[in-house]
């Protein structure tokens, strides 16, 4: 592993080797849900890094999360630099045989995952998003896409999900978007007790791991 690690969380499989996956946290920050998710990925054989885009700040309050997200959106150059550093760090951790990585983003992180796939297309082979959309022009992308969305979502309108799918198809990118019946925003995150939906979360997990494995085999 490189001697200098950017702010963030690393999780490695028992072998110390595996396909590289970048995880981009939601507007809460790099909380325990994301760290646990990284550990589960590592247990499934992936080398995982989750950069801390807030550099130490974490919240479980919606109002504060909105404030943190807004502040981050005004730091475009810093975010771009942090993401570039994170990608390079992860690739070094995984080894020279991996020229491209997968990226998974949750809500706010989903936007940056989608953005990364068009600003660094040569580095990103696949993208997974949880209840989040993003840019409209994917003509530069070289990625495959998987998305998990809630049926009852007060933050991400169905129109945005449809627009994302249409944009990816226009660009000729392989895309599969799932909607989970009876779920709301944050259905995958155990710490959001009122929203967490164990059955939908388990299905989304299985689909994500299968997608990642297929992506790196292709």
pLDDT computed for residue 218 by the predictor = 66
Place of tokens 């388990």: 202
Task: Give the separation between CA 111 and CA 57, rounded to whole angstroms.
Answer: 19
d(CA 118, CA 112) in angstroms, rounded, equals 10
Distance CA 40, CA 21 (A): 12
pLDDT of residue 95: 84
Residues 6+ apart with CB under 8 A from 113: 22, 24, 103, 104, 105, 127, 128, 129, 132, 134
User: In this predicted structure, what is the pLDDT of residue 155?
Assistant: 86
- Nearest CA to 146 out of 113, 185, 121 is that of 113
- Write down the domain spans for the chain: 8-217
Residue 2: the pLDDT is 60
Q: In what order do the strands lie in the sheet containing 175-184?
A: 8-11, 46-51, 19-24, 101-106, 124-130, 144-152, 175-184
Give pLDDT, residue 42.
98
Residue 193: its pLDDT value, please? 92
- Token digits of residue 119: 């600003």
Contact 4, 91 (CB under 8 A): no
What pLDDT is stored for residue 99 in this prediction? 86
Which pLDDT does position 185 carry in this prediction?
92
SS3 state at 102: strand
pLDDT at residue 3 in the model? 58
φ/ψ (deg, to 5) at 42: -65, -40
Ordered mean pLDDT values, 10 residues apiece, the chain (218 residues): 84 94 97 97 97 97 96 95 96 88 97 97 97 94 97 89 96 97 94 94 98 91
Classified by CATH at the fold level, domain 8-217 comes out as: Rossmann fold (3.40.50)
| Residue of 154, 158, 72 whose CA lies nearest to 115 | 72
Q: How far apart (Å, rounded) are the C-alpha atoms in residues 93 and 16?
A: 9
**Percent composition of the chain: helix, strand, coil (DSSP 3-state, to 5):** 40, 20, 40
């Amino acid at each position: 592993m490189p001697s200098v690690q950017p702010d963030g969380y690393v999780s490695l499989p028992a072998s110390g080797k595996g396909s590289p996956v970048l995880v981009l946290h939601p507007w809460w920050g790099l909380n325990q849900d994301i760290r646990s998710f990284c550990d589960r990925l590592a247990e499934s054989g992936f080398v995982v890094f989750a950069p801390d885009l807030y550099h130490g700040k974490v919240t479980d309050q919606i109002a504060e999360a909105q404030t943190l997200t807004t502040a981050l959106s005004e730091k475009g150059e810093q975010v771009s630099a942090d993401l570039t550093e994170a990608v390079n760090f992860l690739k070094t951790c995984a080894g020279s045989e991996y020229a491209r990585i997968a990226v998974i983003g949750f809500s706010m992180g989903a936007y940056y995952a989608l953005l990364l796939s068009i600003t660094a297309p040569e580095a990103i082979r696949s993208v997974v998003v949880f209840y989040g959309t993003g840019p409209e022009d994917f003509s530069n992308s070289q990625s495959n896409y998987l998305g998990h969305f809630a049926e009852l979502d007060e933050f991400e309108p169905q129109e945005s999900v449809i627009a994302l799918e249409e944009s990816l198809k226009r660009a000729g990118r392989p895309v599969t978007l799932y909607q989970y019946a009876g779920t709301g925003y944050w259905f995958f995150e155990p710490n959001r007790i009122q929203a967490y939906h164990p059955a939908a979360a388990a299905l989304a997990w299985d689909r994500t791991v299968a997608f990642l494995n297929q992506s790196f085999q292709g």
